Amino acid sequence: MLIELEKRIPLTAQTLYCAELEELQELLHFPEEVALRLADSEYQLFYQVPPIDYLRQVTADLGGTTGTSEANCSAQSSSTSKSSIGTLIKRFDEVSAWVTQLIISQPTHDARRAVVSCILRVALSSWNIGNFMGAMEIIAAFNSNKLKPFWLSITEKDTLPILNFLNAALYSVEYDRALSRALAMAECPVVPFFGAFLHELREILATRTPEGLPIGKPPKGARPDQSQQRQVV
């Protein structure tokens, strides 16, 4: 049986989602409700980001552009795209930090274990309802260096099947399978993990030139580099 939370964690005024997270903290003994509320907020955030913004974010990170049409975009448009992805990143960081702080700030070992139990149920519920972003936020918090002393203080970590399952699933092809199943259900409000999109785009663009050719192979008809011409001569 879960014990009562012994300490209410104040959130800083700079936290964008302060009011929401404080309210969720009061509902932590109802993990399914917390998962539903997280999913509702993150669904709204995720689908406010146009798909092209992911490409703009990655090309900006790689120091490139998306082509001629991108060069014609205004500075305001570029700033907006960065802001939309930045909102998802900020949300991810704040929820993860909230989870970590919620655990380490409990005054007793039993209280910390009780909070972990509740949050794991939130994570599993998030996975089950298709909020993969929410599940990843929580697992990222559990993998935080700040929680290392806590994990070292317990011997039951290997018997936490939910944590073991999500750690394995979110970082493997099982995530892709679960995402495909969720997207196939029209009634399921899916929230993919946006970081997976960015990672896949980086892998694609890192091995391609702006013209879409593999790095190291010049476009057909392109002139050799002048320095190479001088060496040949």
The structure tokens 């290997």 sit at 158
The structure tokens 């490139």 sit at 64
Task: Specify the pLDDT at position 225.
Answer: 44
DSSP 146-169: GGHHHHHT-S-GGG-HHHHHHHHH
Task: Specify the pLDDT at position 66.
Answer: 43
DSSP 119-135: HHHHHHHHHHTTBHHHH
User: Dihedral (C-alpha) 81, 86, 89, 90: value to the nearest 10 degrees?
Assistant: -150
Instruction: Find all residues with CB under 8 Å of 71, minimum gap 6, and list them.
Output: 65
Task: Specify the pLDDT at position 61.
Answer: 78
Task: Specify the pLDDT at position 116.
Answer: 95
**Amino acid code (one letter) for 86:** G
Q: Which CATH class is domain 20-62+82-205?
A: mainly alpha
Alpha-carbon gap, residue 75 to 105, rounded angstroms: 43
pLDDT mean values, one per 10 residues, the chain (233 residues): 46 70 93 97 94 88 54 42 78 96 93 94 97 97 93 75 94 95 93 92 77 44 39 37
Task: Specify the pLDDT at position 136.
Answer: 97
Q: Which two tokens stand for residue 34?
A: 């917390």
Alpha-carbon gap, residue 158 to 33, rounded angstroms: 27
Q: Which two tokens stand for residue 36?
A: 């539903």
Alpha-carbon gap, residue 114 to 117, rounded angstroms: 5
